[in-house]
Amino acid sequence: MTPVSSRQTRGDVPWTSTIFQTVLACSLIGVMGVPLISPILPDLRSVFEISDAQIGFVITAYTLPGVFLTPFIGLLSDRLGRRTVVLPLLVLFGLAGGGIALGPSFRGVLALRFIQGIGGSGLMVLAITLIGDFYGGKRRHKIMGVNGSAIGIGAATYPLLGGALAAIRWNIPFAFFGLSLVVGTIALFTLEEPAIADPPAIGTYVSRVISAVLISRALGLWAAAFLTFFLFYGCILTVLSLLLSDVHGLSAGQIGLLFSMVSIANATTASQYGRISQYFDARQLIALGFVGFGVSLLGVWAASTPILIGAMLLCFGLGFGLVLPSLDTTVVSLVSGQLRASMMGVLTSMLWLGQTVGPIAFTGFAGAAFDEPVTGYRFSLLFWGAATLVGGVLAFLVLNRR
pLDDT at 296 over 90: yes
Q: Is the pLDDT of residue 68 over 60?
A: yes
Q: Does residue 11 carry a pLDDT above 70? A: no
The span from the first CA to the last CA of the chain, in angstroms, equals: 31
Global pTM reads 0.73
| Spatial CA neighbour of 182 closest among 29, 15, 16, 19 | 29
Q: Is residue 136 part of a domain?
A: yes
Residue 392: is its pLDDT beyond 90? yes
CB 136 within 8 Å of CB 240: no
Angstrom distances, CA of residue 146 to CA of 123, 143, 274, 302: 17, 5, 9, 33
- The top-scoring range by mean pLDDT among 41-45, 119-123, 211-215, 234-238 is 119-123
Residue 253 binned pLDDT confidence (cut-offs 50, 70, 90)? low
What is the number of other CB atoms lying within 10 angstroms of the CB of residue 84?
12
Question: Is residue 115 predicted with pLDDT exceeding 90?
Answer: yes
Residue 65 has phi, psi (to 5 degrees) of -60, -35
**Contact indicator for 80, 342 with CB cutoff of 8 Å:** no
Please tell me the distance from the alpha carbon of residue 324 to that of residue 124, in angstroms, as a whole number: 12
Distances (CA, A) of 215 to 14, 205, 210, 247, 334: 34, 16, 9, 45, 10
3-state secondary structure of 243: helix
Rounded average pLDDT over 11-24 = 83
Burial of residue 372, with CB atoms counted within 10 A of its CB: 0-12 exposed, 13-18 middle, 19 or more buried: exposed
Considering Cα of 26, then 32, then 34, then 35, what sign does the dihedral take? positive
What average pLDDT does range 32-47 have in this prediction?
Answer: 79
Contacts of 264 (CB under 8 A, 6+ apart): 152, 156, 314, 317
Q: Is 314 domain-assigned?
A: yes
Choice among 3-7, 40-44, 132-136, 168-172 with the minimum mean pLDDT? 3-7
- Domain membership flag for residue 10: no
> Of 381, 353, 203, 383, which is closest to residue 296 (Cα–Cα)?
381
* Domain assignment of residue 362, yes or no: yes
Q: What is the pLDDT of residue 183?
A: 92
CATH number, domain with residue 325:
1.20.1250.20
pLDDT at 2 > cutoff 80: no
CB under 8 A, 24+ apart: contacts of 398-401: 399/281, 399/283, 399/284, 399/287, 400/284
Q: With the CA atoms of 235, 236, 239 and 240 taken in that order, what torsion angle do they form, in degrees rounded to the nearest 10?
A: 140
Average pLDDT, integer, range 245-257: 77
* Range with top average pLDDT, 71-75, 264-268, 301-305, 358-362: 301-305
pLDDT digits (tens, 9 = 90+) for 167-214: 888 899 999 999 999 999 998 888 887 766 666 666 666 677 777 777
Residue 212 in any domain: the answer is: yes
**From CA 374, how far away is CA 68, in angstroms rounded?**
33
Confidence at 338, pLDDT banded by 50, 70, 90: low
Query: Residue 42 sits in which domain range?
Result: 15-401
In this structure, how many other beta carbons lie within 10 angstroms of the beta carbon of residue 188? 12
| Contact in structure between 194 and 134 (CB atoms under 8 Å) | yes
- The pLDDT-based confidence of 293 (bands split at 50, 70, 90) is very high
Q: Are 218 and 333 in contact (CB under 8 A)?
A: no
pLDDT band at 1 (very low <50, low <70, confident <90, very high): very low
Q: What is the pLDDT of residue 185?
A: 92
**pLDDT attached to residue 167:** 80
Please indicate, yes or no, if residue 1 is contained in any of the structural domains. no
Q: Which of 11-15, 142-146, 286-290 has the lowest mean pLDDT?
A: 11-15
Q: How many CB atoms lie within 10 A of CB 305?
A: 9
CB 329 within 8 A of CB 48: no
pLDDT at residue 29 greater than cutoff 80: yes
Look at 166 and 109; give whichever has higher pLDDT: 109
d(CA 101, CA 297): 38
Express as a percent the part of the chain with pLDDT over 90. 29
Residue 8 lies in a domain: no
Q: How many structural domains comprise the chain?
A: 1
CA 145 from chain centre, in angstroms, equals 14
Mean pLDDT lowest for which of 66-80, 175-189, 261-275? 66-80
Phi-psi region of 266 (alpha: psi -120 to 50; beta: other; left: phi over 0): alpha
Residue 85 in domain: yes
112 falls in which pLDDT band (50, 70, 90)? very high
